[in-house]
Amino acid sequence: MAQHLSAVARARLAAQRIHHFHGGLRLRHNKKISCEVPLERIPPSERLFVPLLQHGYSDAARSLVEPGQAVLKGEPIGSYSEPDTGYVHAPTSGKVIALEVRPIAHPSGLDGECVVIEPDGEERWSWLEPIEDWQHADPATLGERIRTAGLVGLGGAVFPTAKKVEGAQARGVHTLILNGAECEPYISCDEMLMREQPEKLILGARVLRRATAAERVIIAIEDQMGVVQRMLDSALKTCGDGEVEIVRVTTIYPEGGERQLVQVLTGLEVPSGGLPLDLGLLCLNVGTAAAAADAVIEGRPLIERIVTVSGSGITRPRNLIALLGTPIHELVERCGGYRGDVQRLVLGGPMMGYALPTDAAPVVKAANCILALTADDLRSPQPEMPCIRCGECMRVCPAVLLPQQLHWQVTNQQWEEAEEYGLMDCIECGCCDFVCPSQIPLADWFRYGKGVLVNRASEKRAADHARHRFAARQERLDRLRRNRQDRIAEKKRQLKQSSEGRRKVAEALERARKSRGEDEGRSP
């Protein structure tokens, strides 16, 4: 505890001033266009297509339902093989009419299995039990609720929240950082959440503080979110507990990245290959905190999320609350449909998002933003040119890497060197792409390179495992052989001993017999 208190004191001192991270870009925000109208809840679609593959941290969930089966709103319909990953839940009540492979929103671009639900319009809940006395609940109980409610990081990373919370419980954290620094252009779902549901966020912050035993909570917002600051300040007065504070950080991309935000707030650097947990910190998105309040206080699993629908290809950009499984074209229609020459539909922001194959893909837990980009938004494709070693990419890289060097290593498959130069620390922010005068798609190369390193690591693990198994088997066989040889030797020794013994007995008997004969010869 003493160690934690001093860590808190250090973090408090460090947070009294805002620090800076290396590099980054000042980008046009383009958020105002989607923040002018209030949040609106979109009614359930005629068909919901709930993907069983919701994130990239595990395989797809296994369906728990069959076609023809009735489901209640919030009922688990898919479970993951990794227990920490929780469940996928039915977004509304109705009937499962099919399990089918359809286009989904996933970075791989591949189709995925979906549970197709026909809503009955009755919205009949299968409630989880609210945890009434959550202020005094055991942290393990809260962690378990976060798991069963299927919570994931709603900032787009969709890492299972229960894993992070369990890590914090096991290792201990002094500060919980709630990330509202939504630094990527166009995305405004977190800003709208903080403006319109600030009490829910504050309650979620308190729930997570209880679950992680953190001593303080920082909600980080951008310095241009004046309305948000006022709304949160007023919510703190009504439902805060004195341990939640709001900190405004400079608006610079990618300040909302976990590592960058930790550095800005504390001046501390998350070690290469490490986690904020290594510094006694846990970082979660503000949307995740609000979902934690829903799960614990209301007993509602994660079945909906706020989605920004924006871009110059959208008639009336805004933020919508949509059930998971709602086809994306229905969100676009709710925003007045497309306008202009839409060239690309993106899930996420313009820097880190990925292109969607079709607007028939449904809303998933990762869907923080749907962006319709026209030709004017996109840089006209230029031929890729050789690197001129200008160093611009290095200047803007927030991970303090040498992108030009990494590019050389990845394109030449120098994997050991790329690993040594920190390829796995690349956060794929795209800053280097943005400034590269040679139009080299650096972030794409690094995404590919990281995939290769992950595969190599898992192949190495598999090979090491096979080698250990082989060595263990050899050792076992050797041991068995040695045991057998020892047993045979012992047997022989015993046999030898016993034949020797028999011979000695026979000799003794013979001597005795002879001695008796001599005695009889001497008798009168």
CA neighbours within 13 Å on the CB side: how many for 220?
28
CA 430 to CA 354: how far, in whole Å? 12
The packing angle between helices 161-171 and 198-212, to 10°, is 40
Return residues touching ligand SF4 (CB under 6 A).
387-393, 396-399, 401, 403-404, 407, 426-432, 435-438, 440, 442-443, 446
400 vs 506 by CB, closer to ligand SF4: 400
270 vs 331 by CB, closer to ligand SF4: 270
CA 378 to CA 372: how far, in whole Å? 11
Return the structure tokens found at 407: 């590019």
38 vs 391 by CB, closer to ligand SF4: 391
C-alpha torsion 259→265→267→271, nearest 10? -20
Q: Do residues 44 and 92 make contact, with C-beta atoms less than 8 angstroms apart?
A: yes
Amino acid making up residue 7 = A
CA 1 to CA 396: how far, in whole Å? 39
CA 266 to CA 263: how far, in whole Å? 5
22 vs 339 by CB, closer to ligand SF4: 22
321 vs 453 by CB, closer to ligand SF4: 453
Tell me the closest approach of the beta carbon of residue 453 to ligand SF4, in angstroms: 13
Neighbour order of strands in the sheet with 318-323? 40-41, 318-323, 304-310, 369-374, 342-347, 354-355
Neighbour-count burial of 451, counting CB atoms closer than 10 A to its CB (0-12 exposed, 13-18 middle, 19+ buried): exposed
Tell me the closest approach of the beta carbon of residue 57 to ligand SF4, in angstroms: 20
114 vs 396 by CB, closer to ligand SF4: 396
377 vs 428 by CB, closer to ligand SF4: 428
Tell me the closest approach of the beta carbon of residue 56 to ligand SF4, in angstroms: 17
Tell me the closest approach of the beta carbon of residue 353 to ligand SF4, in angstroms: 14
Tell me the closest approach of the beta carbon of residue 458 to ligand SF4, in angstroms: 22
439 vs 498 by CB, closer to ligand SF4: 439
Tell me the closest approach of the beta carbon of residue 231 to ligand SF4, in angstroms: 32
Residue-wise DSSP of 183-240:
-STT--HHHHHHHH-HHHHHHHHHHHHHHHT-SEEEEEEETT-HHHHHHHHHHHHHH-
Tell me the closest approach of the beta carbon of residue 389 to ligand SF4, in angstroms: 5
Tell me the closest approach of the beta carbon of residue 457 to ligand SF4, in angstroms: 19
Tell me the closest approach of the beta carbon of residue 181 to ligand SF4, in angstroms: 17
Q: Is the previous residue joined to 350 through a cis bond, with omega within 30 degrees of 0?
A: no
232 vs 397 by CB, closer to ligand SF4: 397
For residues 84-117, b (16+ Cβ closer than 10 Å) or e, as one string?
bbbbbbbbbbbebeeeeebbbbbeeeebbbbbbb
Tell me 283's DSSP state: E
